[in-house]
Structure 1
Amino acid sequence: MPHFAQALARGLNVRHVRFMALGSAIGTGLFYGSAAAIQAAGPAVLLAYMIGGAAVFMVMRALGEMAVRHPVSGSFGQYASKYLGPFAGFITGWTFTFEMAIVALADVTAFGIYMGFWFPGVPRWIWILAVVFFIAALNMMKVKVFGETEFWLSLIKVSAIIAMIIGGILIVLFGFGLPAEAKPGFSTLLAAGGFFPNGFWGLLASFSIVMFAFGGIETIGITAGEAEDPKSVVPAAINTVPVRILLFYICTLGVLMMIYPWNEIGTEGSPFVQIFDNLGIPAAAHILNAVVITAAISAINSDIFGAGRMMFGLAQQGHAPASFAKISRNGVPWMSVLTMGIVLLVGVVLNALLPESLFLIIASIATFATVWVWVMIMLSHIAMKREIKRESLPESEFPSPWWPVASYAALGFMGFVIVLLGLIPGTRIALVVGTVWIGLLFVAYKTWVRGNGLERAELEDETGREYASVNSN
């Protein structure tokens, strides 16, 4: 197992982490996947985002409490090892890496679709190949360069969405660009079947895409290992989660459905671009397409960062090849970043073979991996809170609110979403793939990790006391 002296460079400040948090919440799931969620639930998708967002916020607060107490690389993978046992850490870390790889495949797929808006005659895989090489090279630079890049990419996305919400409100109020007979507002929002046009089942069916949209937000916890002051940086980023969900998901989609009937929002490209293109404002459509391309690049950037840092943490625990813990002169785990770049090249092949059906399949599989990781975060947090009480340890500096009711409610909701994936025909493949994945991890752990034995890895909390995170076998 690699020696713990090899540490990642700390170069992320409050501004970097806060905008990385924004970037992780604004990506393919909003700009592209929201169309499928709208088709499933109609206007009730707004309620789905509220419910899902509340559960995600509790996951983030639980993660935040652990990240401030133990600001280590590998984050929740190491927390699971400490509080739930080595196998839990192994399965959590590798499932998050799997999640980031799948989400990144969805993001590069969406990137190819967005470029098709401007270059319909160019094969999608060419654009995907180009963006994979670009992002991989960017992640090989110093983490401060990554943070600055993510800051500016996220700033573009945030500014564009705020401008679009303001513009959408003006269209609703004054009818700019709409036909004379149009009735923007609640009339359009509720015209095609009311708030629950597809019934309660439609609301449930939308959760697979809704939760996919929030996938990757837990990357905030991983930044603790490279943040200059994790005790102030991480809480500041996490506490903005409810506002981001309200503004960027609920307000944005609410305004869009007030302008354009929800049942006419298709899945050919981004619904945002489609809506403004059909309003007869082609310049706005091109501007928005540039924005969603920026969003995709930002999301891919975060995906590679998160997976790379998790693999670094896994290698530190003896849960991954030692080469993944090697640090470059720039303080970057170069082998893990390179591995993610190679995995993304699979997206080039998949987009050449399955250009039409790929996104929904990838999104549903990513949802399983995402929710599984969130379940492990909640279980780790619950175990930590019990240990604090049992051993009369000092209270956390950033405690999760409404403990224990909210934590158990969020955990129950995550389990419910996993069950939903198996009940809905279109997403059932996600449960099948997820079950196979967990089975493979179990076999890998028994034959590879336990067979080789593990050294002891330590986590340190804010009291300065060290705790064993992985027990020797």
Structure 2
Amino acid sequence: MALGSAIGTGLFYGSSSAIQAAGPAVLFAYMIGGAAVFIVMRAMGEMAVKHPVSGSFAHYASRYLGNFAGFVTGWTFSFEMAIVAIADVTAFGIYMGFWFPQVPQWIWVLTVVLLIATINLMKVKVFGETEFWLAVVKVTAIIAMIVGGAALIIFGFNAPDTETATGFATLMSAGTLFPNGFMGLLLSFAVVMFAFGGIETIGITAGEADDPSKSVPAAINTVPWRILLFYVASLAVVMMLFDWRQIDGSASPFVQIFDGLGLPAVAHVLNAVVITAAVSAINADTFGAGRMLYAMSVAGHAPKSFGRVSRNGVPWMTVVIMAVVLLLGVVLNALLPEALFTIIASIATFATVWVWIMILASYLAMRRREAKEGIDGSVAREYAVPGGTIAAWSALVFMAFVVVLLALSAETRVALYTGVIWLVILGVLYKLLVRPTAAIDQKNNDSLLN
């Protein structure tokens, strides 16, 4: 599920904006951002091993930071999934435009929204099988693209109408790894961090795993090599194959590059793959938001109706809510087809990074409580965060820095305004709507888990 959400639009389409901002230096951005995300995942994993619950990180925020923190974390994650899904359906419309340029983008968006709603209302087994095969397709395609691209580089394949050989010379076509300076690298983080959004979905299923003490660490420990393979290696290959300065965002950079290389058949195959990846990501986003809202309903932080389950075992009300939100994406695609993706991606980055900040803050509060109570945390010490609290604090500072970076560009600054408004709205809703007994219920749940 985490692969489905994290390996999608951010890589297959959003990477074009990151490449435009930083050039080849974007590879460093993915490595730096990936390292920080790994610390976040290990922090969540250490908590999940100790306290495996559904909707885990919202529960941990309530447990260690207070009831309001859990409320904000859960709703912001759901907001994140909704915004990321809108970005995904927007990318889906752009991908379809590669084949059908005359068809309005919003029509494809409406089509995929209806498809996703149908899949998510089916039995959980059907949904899981669908997501599994969609993920298999895109992971296999990425590996095949890396291997095929590497072969083209090794055998010296040249693009039509150019004498520049593929390889490091093409990567360095601007004469430097930092063509837009250090500031270009910083600006790319807005999209780079968006690309990793959703990987925390691993924690959503902690309470449903047969043996979370083994399955959660095993899943999280694969994050480093996935980042190196799916993000760094794949983008390094595509920028060695074709002059990255010609990537304009009109299509997936993977598709555009192979089309520009005079390999239209490969470009069409990859376009089918990125479409599959988009559907997979939207599917996973809908699942993640639904599971979180269900857990929030049980905790008294969301309407009771969100806890209703269909005969197929699906929290159907949350699926309906997500479908309605995605229909908003249809309207936005009709009104802002050109600028929508960057706006949505930056807002999603704010929501994503905020959730990660809350995970890190919860972890640090847990460690302080353990120290105060004389608990050594040996239950999960074999799965402790590398570097402990020092690493967690470093990642926390980095995440806060990413939020500040959103203010540097006029295109991404809207994310800060939206984020502040969102947090204010949550504060008002918490005061007006959350029943006072929710905090007591949370404490009772905590005592049962101890």
- Shorter-chain TM-score: what band? over 0.9
CA, structure 1 residues 105+239, in 2 after alignment: closer, same or farther (shift >3 Å)? same
1:403 maps to which residue? 388
* CA deviations over 1:381-416 (Å, ceiling 9, x no partner): 111122222223342323222101111100000000
Give, in whole Å, the separation in 1 of the partners of 2:180 and 2:105: 33
1:98 maps to which residue? 79
Q: Does residue 368 of structure 2 align to residue 383 of structure 1?
A: no
Matches within 5 A, 1:238-317: 238-317=220-299
Q: Give 1:147 deviation, angstroms.
A: 2.1
CA, structure 1 residues 438+238, in 2 after alignment: closer, same or farther (shift >3 Å)? same
Q: Give 1:451 deviation, angstroms.
A: 6.1
Residue identity (%):
66
1:356 maps to which residue? 338
1:51 maps to which residue? 32
CA, structure 1 residues 381+412, in 2 after alignment: closer, same or farther (shift >3 Å)? same
* CA deviations over 1:91-139 (Å, ceiling 9, x no partner): 1111111110000000000001111111112221111112111111211
1:211 to 185, 189, 193: 193
Give, in whole Å, the separation in 2 of the partners of 1:249 and 1:443: 39
Amino acid at match of 1:156: V
Amino acid at match of 2:449: E
Matches within 5 A, 1:61-460: 61-176=42-157, 178-179=159-160, 181-393=163-375, 394-397=377-380, 398-449=383-434, 454-457=439-442
Q: Give 1:143 deviation, angstroms.
A: 2.6
Q: Give 1:460 deviation, angstroms.
A: 7.0
Relative to the length of structure 2, the TM-score reads 0.96
Give, in whole Å, the separation in 2 of the partners of 1:325 and 1:409: 37
- Which secondary structure does the structure 1 equivalent of 2:199 belong to? coil
Given that residues 190 and 406 in structure 2 are in contact (C-alpha distance below 8 angstroms), is that contact kept between their aligned partners in structure 1? yes
Give, in whole Å, the separation in 1 of the partners of 2:337 and 2:357: 32
Give, in whole Å, the separation in 1 of the partners of 2:39 and 2:121: 33
CA, structure 1 residues 380+454, in 2 after alignment: closer, same or farther (shift >3 Å)? closer
* CA deviations over 1:334-390 (Å, ceiling 9, x no partner): 111211111111111111111111000000000000000000000001111222222
Given that residues 64 and 365 in structure 2 are in contact (C-alpha distance below 8 angstroms), is that contact kept between their aligned partners in structure 1? yes
Given that residues 76 and 377 in structure 1 are in contact (C-alpha distance below 8 angstroms), is that contact kept between their aligned partners in structure 2? yes
Given that residues 91 and 438 in structure 1 are in contact (C-alpha distance below 8 angstroms), is that contact kept between their aligned partners in structure 2? yes
Relative to the length of structure 1, the TM-score reads 0.91
Q: Give 1:48 deviation, angstroms.
A: 0.4
Instruction: Report which stretch shifted further, 115-124 or 102-111.
Output: 115-124
* CA deviations over 1:59-118 (Å, ceiling 9, x no partner): 011111112222212111111011100110011111111110000000000001111111
- Which secondary structure does the structure 1 equivalent of 2:388 belong to? coil
Q: Give 1:423 deviation, angstroms.
A: 2.3
* CA deviations over 1:149-200 (Å, ceiling 9, x no partner): 2111111111101110111111111133524612211111112140111111
Instruction: Report which stretch shifted further, 440-449 or 329-338.
Output: 329-338
2:11 maps to which residue? 30
Q: Aligned-residue CA RMSD in angstroms?
A: 1.7
Given that residues 76 and 355 in structure 2 are in contact (C-alpha distance below 8 angstroms), is that contact kept between their aligned partners in structure 1? yes
- Which secondary structure does the structure 2 equivalent of 1:194 belong to? coil
Given that residues 65 and 396 in structure 1 are in contact (C-alpha distance below 8 angstroms), is that contact kept between their aligned partners in structure 2? no
Q: Runs of at least 4 residues of structure 1 off by over 6 A?
A: none
Give, in whole Å, the separation in 2 of the partners of 1:138 and 1:360: 28
Amino acid at match of 2:165: K
Give, in whole Å, the separation in 1 of the partners of 2:378 and 2:28: 35
- Which secondary structure does the structure 2 equivalent of 1:400 belong to? coil
Give, in whole Å, the separation in 2 of the partners of 1:22 and 1:421: 26
Q: Which runs of 5+ in 2 are unaligned?
A: none
More helix by share: 2
Give, in whole Å, the separation in 2 of the partners of 1:448 and 1:138: 32
Given that residues 39 and 391 in structure 2 are in contact (C-alpha distance below 8 angstroms), is that contact kept between their aligned partners in structure 1? yes
- Which secondary structure does the structure 1 equivalent of 2:76 belong to? helix
Given that residues 78 and 289 in structure 2 are in contact (C-alpha distance below 8 angstroms), is that contact kept between their aligned partners in structure 1? yes
- Which secondary structure does the structure 2 equivalent of 1:457 belong to? helix
Give, in whole Å, the separation in 1 of the partners of 2:39 and 2:444: 23
Give, in whole Å, the separation in 1 of the partners of 2:107 and 2:326: 13
